[in-house]
Amino acid sequence: MQPAAARPVTKLKLPDGFSSAMIADDLGKTRHLAITPKGDIYVKLGAQKDGKTILMLTQSGDKATVKNSFGDYEGTGIFIQRWLSICFF
C-alpha cells in the first residue's frame, strides 16, 4: 500500500472549483466526519479501533493527526451541536 501522500485522490467527483486531499490515513472504518469552525476534525468509526469509536484529529499543514479518541459505543451519525458538545445517534 502506498503512503497517503503518494496515493492520488481521483475517485471523487467534485463540482468545479472544489478540490480534495488525503490528510489522514489508516484511521479505521470511517463512517462520518464533522469539522468545527476551529478546524478540529471528528471522525465516527463504523467499528472500534483500539477500543474507541470516535477520533478527534487536528490538521497541521497537509497532514492531520489523531489527538484524542473516546467512546466505545456504536452509532451511525455524528453531530456537533453549537460547536461545543458532540452528539452521536
Mean of the pLDDT values across residues 42-65? 90
Alpha carbons 58 and 73: distance in angstroms, whole number: 22
- Which residue, 51, 2, 60, 57, is CA-closest to 34? 57
Confidence at residue 1, expressed as pLDDT on a 0 to 100 scale = 46
Sign for the pseudo-dihedral over CA of 29, 34, 36, 38? positive
Is residue 77 over pLDDT 80? no
Give the global pTM.
Answer: 0.72
Is residue 89 over pLDDT 50? no
Confidence at residue 65, expressed as pLDDT on a 0 to 100 scale = 94
